[in-house]
Amino acid sequence: MTSLRCLVTGGAGFVGSHLVDRLLADGHEVVALDNLYTGSKANLAHLASESRFAFVEADVCDDLAPLGRFDWIFNLACPASPPHYQRDPIFTAKTCFLGVLRCLEHAERHGARLLQASTSEVYGDPEVHPQPESYRGSVNPVGPRSCYDEGKRVGETLCFDFRARGVDARIVRIFNTYGPRMDPSDGRVVSNFVVQALRGEPLTVYGDGTQTRSFCFVSDLIDGFLRLMTHPQAQGPINVGNDREHTMLELAELVMRLTERGSELTHLPLPKDDPTRRRPDLSRARETLGYEPAVSLEDGLAATVGYFREVLADREE
Ligand SMILES: NC(=O)c1ccc[n+]([C@@H]2O[C@H](COP(=O)([O-])OP(=O)(O)OC[C@H]3O[C@@H](n4cnc5c(N)ncnc54)[C@H](O)[C@@H]3O)[C@@H](O)[C@H]2O)c1
């Protein structure tokens, strides 16, 4: 494939930094834009001498015109974990709405293809299981998760509306993804469990631990992104994730085994509006994109545990 000029907003974040690596490995030129709200320059430090890479510290809601022309725009800028997106809900809603608007305007200006990082949160607390793309969701518009859930929903709407103006806007609905470079303090279950286990602390389980999630290793997610972006016409929305479902108790046991720590469990009440079950229906991704998640939970968690061991050791030095 010819070398493309790519913009990755949120490029200093967990998923964004892996996407930057993959695009560079594929021979492209990449600009990562990030305001470092939750991301970190450390996630991109290994690219300091890479001539095809540039980092721009800016807000995605700012005018993107000075950045010039791109072939591909990936809009990932947005705090993603509940404690982070609830810290300043108006900032989150603004980032969701204005951020995608700015990216779509820029895509229209330059004829760029755009990938919008949407989320399984658009399904809210689903009454349908697993969730196909045709399911319209059960979202609370006035709750602690609304700034993010509704923000991402309006992001999809804007993509749909810009398509009518000729913009090739593609939408990926990301399900729970984990892996190296997750922020240890982002409050998501994988990072919580691994960090607590490595510190020898009890693992915090919300509710009775029978609620389920499906966990996608980050390299599988990035594979899904590239399959959607290189597809001749598919625009989505399309679910990408892993459809193996695990209870929180199963996850806790696996983490304890991989960290070789016999931590205990403590139970806290379920947070408000926390979905009890969440699993992608991947039929469309399989049929349209030939997508198949390849990394098992055990292998992905082992890599994640290795990463967190290093991060925690550095912090303790
Ligand atoms: N990780 C997941 O499981 C998951 C699931 C569903 C959707 N997503 C989506 O994927 C994207 C990346 O998520 P992540 O897990 O890497 O989260 P992350 O918090 O690690 O990354 C988000 C990045 O966006 C940056 N950012 C936030 N607001 C910004 C703004 N206004 N301007 C510029 N940069 C801004 C942050 O500094 C950070 O680097 C997000 O859009 C998120 O909604 C992630």
pLDDT digits (tens, 9 = 90+) for 297-315: 999 999 999 999 999 888 7
The stretch 133-139 carries a mean pLDDT of 94
pTM: 0.95
Assess if residue 248 is contained within a domain: no
- CA nearest 273: which of 84, 126, 88, 92? 126
Assess if residue 137 is contained within a domain: yes
pLDDT (tens digit per residue) in 245-274 = 999 999 999 999 999 886 789 999 887 666
Assess if residue 158 is contained within a domain: yes
Assess if residue 311 is contained within a domain: no
Assess if residue 133 is contained within a domain: yes
Closest ligand 1 atom number to CA of residue 121? 6
Nearest 10 degrees: Cα torsion 40, 85, 308, 178: -110
85 is catalytic: no
Assess if residue 121 is contained within a domain: yes
Transcribe 175-211 into DSSP letters.
Answer: --EE-TT--TTS--HHHHHHHHHHTTPPEEEETTS--
- Protein residues with CB under 6 Å of any ligand 1 atom: 9-10, 12-16, 34-39, 59-61, 76-80, 84, 95, 99, 117, 119, 174, 176-177
- CA nearest 110: which of 65, 75, 148, 149? 65
Domain count, the chain: 1
Assess if residue 302 is contained within a domain: no
CATH of the domain at 148: 3.40.50.720
Above 70 in pLDDT, residue 289? yes
- The pLDDT assigned to 317 comes to 66
pLDDT (tens digit per residue) in 68-101 = 999 999 999 999 999 999 999 999 999 999 999 9
**Which are the contacts of 17, defined by CB distance < 8 A and separation ≥ 6?**
11, 32, 39, 43, 44, 181
Instruction: Tell me the CA–centroid distance for residue 212 and ligand 1, in Å.
Output: 23
Assess if residue 36 is contained within a domain: yes
Given the residues 37, 148, 178, 291, the one annotated as active site: 148
Host domain of residue 63: 5-178+216-243+273-294
